[in-house]
Each structure stands twice: as structure tokens, then as C-alpha cells.
Amino acid sequence: MIISFEDFKTENRIPGLHPIIGTFDELNCVKESEINMFIEKYEPLYLYDFYFDKDVVNELEAYTELDVRTDTEKNVLIESFRQPIANYVAFWYFREQETLNTSIGGANPQIGGAIKVSTIDRQVKLWNEMVRYTRSIYIDLYTSCFFPQRDIFHLINSFNI
């Protein structure tokens, strides 16, 4: 995997992911497991949307699993993908948290006495920042400002259009 828990900071910070130093929180283990599932699902999807070539994605993913990475060009490329992929994963995580599936149907998660605030504005900010990073990487690699017609290259607004 290209990204790790340390990549979720500032705007894409996921509440409960980083426990207080010196403490062990069982809920943190659950949160880490949940985030790992999102990373495993959405990191390859992002890379596929970027390259539109499964062989390139598989090669890059295999390279990230190596103990010793000596290809400087790939190392720089992987480093440049960290932030946009973290934003992409966080976007989908927060989208999933808007409504939770329960045995009786969809439910809005809310702790007693709390007022639920929508994460849509945060999602839009994360997505659009991811798009800016993605476009920058694409321009650096292909020296072209003509972006593919795929979602990760297009900005959204709060209506997701």
C-alpha cells in the first residue's frame, strides 16, 4: 500500500484513528481495521482511474510491497501519490459515515444529545484538493493539460456535480 495511517492528518484526519499517546484504545483497533478496508478498496481504484491500465497499477502496488525500493523515479512518484490517495480514501470514508447500514435499514449515526453536522462540505474540500494534486501529478508525468474524462480529474460542488 502507498498510504498509511500517518497520511490522515489536517483536513483528511479521521476522528479516533490516532489514539492519545501512551494509551491503548480497543476502538482504535476497530477504526484501524475499518480504515485498512477502505485503503485496500480505494487505493487501487484511484490508481486505476489515474492510469487506466491494470498492469501499471499492479506493478506499482507490487513495488510498494518490496522491502528495498531502489528505483528513485518510482519512489518520487509514490511519494507524490500519498496525499491525493489519502484524500480520496477519506472522501469515501466520510461519505460512508453519513448513513450507516443497520438491521432495520439506513440510520444517521448520532450520539445522544449531540447535533449531527453534515460532512458534505468537508468531502467537497477533500475531493477538490485531491483533484488539484492529481492534475499536478498528471501534468508532471504527461506534460499535458488535457485530462482524461474520469472522476478523479474533475472538481465537484456540494451537490456532487
pTM of this prediction exceeds 0.75: yes
As a whole number of angstroms, the distance between CA 35 and CA 134 comes to: 22
- How many structural domains are present in the chain? 1
Q: Is 106 inside any structural domain?
A: no
pLDDT tens-digit profile of 5-57? 888 888 888 876 766 565 666 656 777 888 999 999 999 999 999 999 999 99
Residue 1 has pLDDT above 80, yes or no: yes
Residue 132 has pLDDT above 90, yes or no: yes
* 105 phi, psi to nearest 5 deg: 120, -165
Q: Is 2 exposed, middle or buried (0-12, 13-18, 19+ CB in 10 A)?
A: buried
Mean pLDDT across the stretch 121-132? 94
Specify the pLDDT at position 96. Answer: 87
Average pLDDT of the chain is: 86
Report the length, in residues, of the chain. 161
Note down the domain range covering 86: 8-99+116-153
* 108 phi, psi to nearest 5 deg: -85, 120
Q: Is 108 inside any structural domain?
A: no
Specify the pLDDT at position 26. Answer: 62
Specify the pLDDT at position 18. Answer: 65
